[in-house]
Amino acid sequence: MKISLIYPVLQFSFQIRKQAKSEIEIPNSEINSDLCAFKMSKKVAFYTLGCKLNYSETSTIGRLFNKAGFDTVDFTDTPDVYVINTCSVTDNADKKCKKVVKEALKISPNAYVTIVGCYAQLKPKEIAEIPGVDMVLGAAEKFQIVDHITDLTKNSKALIYNQPVSEAKTFISGYSFGDRTRTFLKVQDGCDYSCTFCTIPLARGNSRSDTIDHVIDQAKEIAASGVKEIVLTGVNLGDFGIRDGLRQDKFFDLVKALDRVEGINRIRISSIEPNLLTDEIIEFVAGSNKFVPHFHIPLQSGSDKILGLMRRRYKRELYANRVAKIKQLMPGCCIGVDVIVGFPGETREDFIDTYNFLKGLDISYLHVFTYSERENTLASEMGGVVPGSTRAERSKMLHILSDKKRRVFYESQLDKTEEVLFEGDIKDGFMHGFTRNYVKVRTKYDPVLVNELKMVLLTQISPEGDVEITESEEIFAH
């Protein structure tokens, strides 16, 4: 899980969808004129912790502030309001929130600080005790944030607006825009699974989705803006299609519909559960010109015993079959894997079982999470607690394995000509981009290349681990 400073929000899409198929748009006329006058010329900055879904939701919240007269600025531009969108997958994310608040108030001591996101839903009182926090909004309240800010006077005690997560029944769509050349498009929220380690259902509520028609409309808006890649996001993306508590569509239906949208060059599936990644999805992606050969598939453990304790909905045999099917149809496909180390009851033998299983899989990289106890989860009450030092040792071993897997995958792509979408970042005079199958490349910075698709020859791996490319006049002719 990466933690990143959210970009200045340039454009957003915002719309509220009721599950009963009714649609509520927020017209400008509904924003109180006195409120707008009060907020005119005020500045707001955002910081996002956690997943791609949080990025899209930060953009939606930013759209609300813009509509109320706020200017979105950089984190360091002494804003009048800070909005920190939190994650609570690990203890580290909680600690990061506290650190961000502290740093924010160093920059703008009188800024009004509001905390939203999963951490805010799960532990509002704990957040309210953080020095400098003025308001905490839960899952059902975060998209009414502008209504809750009546003035920007610092509070001696943080205000808390936090209903039970069962009240978060409305699906609110949105997409990020402004930082790079790809957009994170939110199509699903919430989760009906009951994994014993996870607090996400407690933080986001039941599974609910947008309609296919509205997703297509948003994809067309994104295409019209010039963005070339869409990343589909959700809490449990493969569970797309539930509205009003009932299944009305399948994720595969959405995939087929999006494949017909004109103007988008690439569509990437951010993460999908192995039991929901069907043969028909894999086969369709293999034959698609839009959907790219890249899957991120959570595993969590390579031990069937631990998978059972986690209440995962598959065994490792199914996972291996999914990987084999992908590689059969798309040999160059990039496959990323989530894995947790140190889960209660994980013996050394269980970990070695996981390690060897991963070592033998034809995968490209790992996202390694060290298990941390989360309140109100069944796992936190289990015996067989793994010592912290052992968790750290196992994490280190899998990080090393991930580095090896990535290098082997990158080496398998050398001497191939691939399409790269270049991004606008600059580091030490270089810019970066990604192939369709998620190989990260670098070349000397050229502003003309930003958001451009170019066919390049992958030549060698740089000391930093990126892939270098041929810089011929033919490839880089403007």
pLDDT confidence of 5, banded at 50, 70, 90? very low
Round to whole Å and give the CA distance between 398 and 300.
12
Q: How many percent of the chain have pLDDT more than 90?
A: 67
Structure confidence by residue, pLDDT tens digits, 307-344: 999 999 999 999 999 999 999 999 999 999 999 999 99
Measured between alpha carbons, how far apart are the two ends of the chain, in Å?
Answer: 37
Which sign does the torsion angle of CA 463, 468, 473, 477 carry?
A: negative
State the CB neighbour count (10 A cutoff) for residue 224. Answer: 9
Closest to 363 measured CA to CA, from 399, 340, 336:
336
Q: Quick check: 208 and 169 in contact, CB under 8 A?
A: yes
Structure tokens at 406: 């990535």
Alpha carbon 6 to chain centroid, angstroms? 12
Helices (H), 249-387: 251-258, 279-287, 304-310, 316-329, 348-360
Q: What is the mean pLDDT of residues 441-454?
A: 93
User: If pLDDT is split at 50, 70 and 90, which confidence band does 476 have?
Assistant: low
Give per-residue burial for 62-82: e unless 16+ CB within 10 Å, then b: bbbbbbbbbbbbebeeebbbb
What span, in angstroms and rounded, lies between the C-alpha atoms of 223 and 231? 13
- Phi (first) and psi of residue 334, to 5 degrees: -90, 130
CA angle at 283 for the pair 289 and 325, rounded to the nearest 5°: 125
Residue 251 CA to residue 115 CA, distance in Å, equals 32
Contacts of 93 by beta carbon, 8 Å cutoff, 6+ apart: 1, 3, 49, 50, 86, 87, 119
Q: Identify the pLDDT of residue 11.
A: 34
Cα-trace Rg, the chain: 22
Dihedral pair phi/psi, residue 387, rounded to 5°: -55, 150
CA distance 14 to 174: 5
The residues pairing with 370 across neighbouring beta strands, listed in sequence order, are: 341
Nearest to 471 by CA among 426, 424, 428, 433: 433
- Structure confidence at residue 41 (pLDDT): 74
In this predicted structure, what is the pLDDT of residue 399? 98
pLDDT of residue 93 exceeding 70, the answer is no
Angle between helices 348-360 and 388-413 (to 10 degrees): 10
Evaluate whether 314 touches 307 at the Cβ level (below 8 Å).
yes
Which residue intervals of 225-311 are DSSP H helices? 251-258, 279-287, 304-310
Provide the token pair at 274: 């192995």
Q: pLDDT by residue (tens digit) across 128-187?
A: 989 999 999 988 888 889 999 888 888 889 999 988 777 778 888 889 876 568 899 999
According to DSSP, the residues that pair with 295 across neighbouring strands are 335
pLDDT at 210: 96
> Model confidence over 259-289: pLDDT tens digits?
999 999 999 999 999 999 999 999 999 999 9
Letter string b/e over residues 18-51, b meaning 16 or more CB atoms within 10 A of that residue's CB: ebeeeeeeeeeeebeeebeeebeebbbbbbbbbb
Sign, CA torsion 289/295/356/394: positive
Question: How far apart, in whole angstroms, are the C-alpha atoms of residue 319 and residue 305?
Answer: 15
CB 15 within 8 A of CB 57: no
Distance of CA 330 to the CA centre of its chain: 24
Residue 118: partners with Cβ closer than 8 Å, 6 or more residues away: 50, 86, 87, 88, 89, 139, 199, 200, 203, 204
pLDDT-derived band at 2, boundaries 50, 70, 90: very low
Beta bridge pairs of residue 57: none
Which structure tokens are listed for 241?
A: 């299609």
Q: Give the residue from 22, 13, 119 showing the smallest Cα distance to 67.
A: 13
Residue 24 binned pLDDT confidence (cut-offs 50, 70, 90): very low
pLDDT at 474 over 90: no
CA dist., res. 62 & res. 146, Å (int): 10
What's residue 120's pLDDT? Answer: 86
Dmax (CA) for the chain in angstroms is 65
Contact 271, 297 (CB under 8 A): yes
What gap in Å lies between CA 109 and CA 121, rounded to an integer? 25
Are 175 and 185 a contacting pair, CB within 8 Å? yes
Closest listed residue to residue 446, CA positions, set 471, 468, 467, 463: 471
